[in-house]
Amino acid sequence: MKLICTQENLNKALGVVGKIINKNATLPILNNILLKTDKGRLKLSSTNLELGINYWVGSKIEEEGEITVPTRLFANFISSLPNSNVEIKLKEDVLNIKCDKYKTNIKGLSAKEYPLIPKIEAEPVFKINNSDFKQALIQVLPAVSSSESRIEITGVLLDLSKLDQNKIILVATDSYRLAEKALTLKKENINKEALNLAGDISSVIIPKNAVQELIRDLDDNENLLEVIISENQILFKFNNANMISRLLEGKYPDYKQIIPDKFETEAVVNVDEIANAIRVAGLFVSASSNNIRLKVYSNSNILEVSSEASEIGNNNTKVAAEIKGNDLEAMYNHRYLSDGFGGIDKEKAILKINSEKLPTVLTSATDKDLIYVIMPVRA
């Protein structure tokens, strides 16, 4: 192997491929990154066996070859170099790197030992711009379950049943709260046939780790992300990279039925104001009770946020609200409430409340594509 590429491109690639967390300590080669010349480019690959990423860097290839080197050392070294050309040369199992006045030799391990990263040879089911998909994932992620007892809700549901209406829906829940985000696609960016070829799939569940990795790797730009689906794997193509992840098995809960369609009271509030009131109320929750009370006064157009921890004190904040319906109060888990308002990226939110036995719904006042559902706590 012998090639030249720029420090800037190589460093950018390592920002993506070099960050996969290896949880499999029994296979030390997973701490390495695979470098391989590939059709006139340098391909960098990394995997933790659950997900794998490939990233191609434009290079002047003088000699083909492949090797694996310790990821962190290689990434730290490249990031310390000046923005100039990097010459990479393999001699036996030692990678020789030169850039400006820097010269280094890094000991590698044979590429033969490196696990194969699977491929899906198929057409994309849909394309969507990077930033829209990233933002949607950020919004639903907090609601994903961390409990391993119900494996099917430890990922994000990608519901494809509305592709005919040019929509995909992302859903996450931990059974206490639920986030649902609908994304509208351009017709020309949908290829339903590709889905049919993959088997009779109407939805897939993407593991939480893959979602977190995608959020880290996707840029905030308008470039199109391509999503390719097979029976048990999903492939995301973006910029010069692709990321492949296994899918979670199991049947996702039929969540539609728990979302009420009638509400006793609706309150429109400023998101920043209520989020700060909730943060303050969070200072007065404790291990024994981490609940916050919301109280709606329809006459005075006030929503009151309060909490009490008997050992340390209590607190009460009044937030201006436009209220339709009756006076009402309900208790909520502090973190669930805080995550809910945290996901709303608009100025105003609507809180739709029934009695304390039915779920409460949060949405933005202007954009109904994001719905956050939260169960009140019984006092």
Taking the complex as a whole, how short is the minimal distance between the CB of residue 305 and its own copies, in angstroms?
Answer: 9
Give the nearer residue to its own copies in terms of CB position, either 160 or 277. 277
Per CB under 8 A, residues contacting its own copies are 70, 73, 76-77, 80-81, 94-95, 101-107, 276-277, 279-280, 283-284, 311-319
Residue type, position 331, single letter:
M
| Separation between Cα atoms, residue 52 and residue 67, nearest integer Å | 17
Give the nearer residue to its own copies in terms of CB position, either 65 or 253. 65
Burial of 2 (0-12, 13-18, 19+ CB in 10 A): middle
| Separation between Cα atoms, residue 33 and residue 232, nearest integer Å | 25
Residue 59 DSSP label = -
Give the nearer residue to its own copies in terms of CB position, either 87 or 132. 87
Give the nearer residue to its own copies in terms of CB position, either 11 or 245. 11
Residue 117 DSSP label = P
Taking the complex as a whole, how short is the minimal distance between the CB of residue 306 and its own copies, in angstroms?
Answer: 9
Taking the complex as a whole, how short is the minimal distance between the CB of residue 203 and its own copies, in angstroms?
Answer: 41
Q: Where are the alpha helices (DSSP H) in 81-155?
A: 130-140
Taking the complex as a whole, how short is the minimal distance between the CB of residue 72 and its own copies, in angstroms?
Answer: 9
Q: Looking at beta carbons, which pairs linking 119-123 to residues 24 or more positions away fall under 8 Å?
A: 119/235, 119/244, 120/228, 120/229, 120/230, 120/233, 120/235, 120/244, 122/194, 122/197, 122/198, 122/228, 122/229, 122/230, 123/191, 123/193, 123/194, 123/197, 123/228
Give the nearer residue to its own copies in terms of CB position, either 318 or 335. 318
* 198 close to 229: Cβ distance less than 8 angstroms: yes
| Separation between Cα atoms, residue 178 and residue 173, nearest integer Å | 4
Q: Which of 240, 229, 173, 181 is nearest to 370 (CA)?
A: 181
Give the nearer residue to its own copies in terms of CB position, either 75 or 344. 75
* 321 close to 267: Cβ distance less than 8 angstroms: yes
Taking the complex as a whole, how short is the minimal distance between the CB of residue 308 and its own copies, in angstroms?
Answer: 9
Give the nearer residue to its own copies in terms of CB position, either 203 or 276. 276
| Separation between Cα atoms, residue 65 and residue 111, nearest integer Å | 9
Give the nearer residue to its own copies in terms of CB position, either 136 or 269. 269
For residue 352, give every residue at least 6 positions away whose Cβ sits within 8 Å of its Cβ, in sequence order, or none. Answer: 260, 263, 265, 266, 360, 361, 362, 363
Taking the complex as a whole, how short is the minimal distance between the CB of residue 10 and its own copies, in angstroms?
Answer: 15
Residue type, position 195, single letter:
L
Taking the complex as a whole, how short is the minimal distance between the CB of residue 70 and its own copies, in angstroms?
Answer: 7
Q: What are phi and psi of 64, to 5 degrees?
A: -70, 160
* 225 close to 241: Cβ distance less than 8 angstroms: no
Taking the complex as a whole, how short is the minimal distance between the CB of residue 112 and its own copies, in angstroms?
Answer: 20
Taking the complex as a whole, how short is the minimal distance between the CB of residue 354 and its own copies, in angstroms?
Answer: 26
Taking the complex as a whole, how short is the minimal distance between the CB of residue 311 and its own copies, in angstroms?
Answer: 7
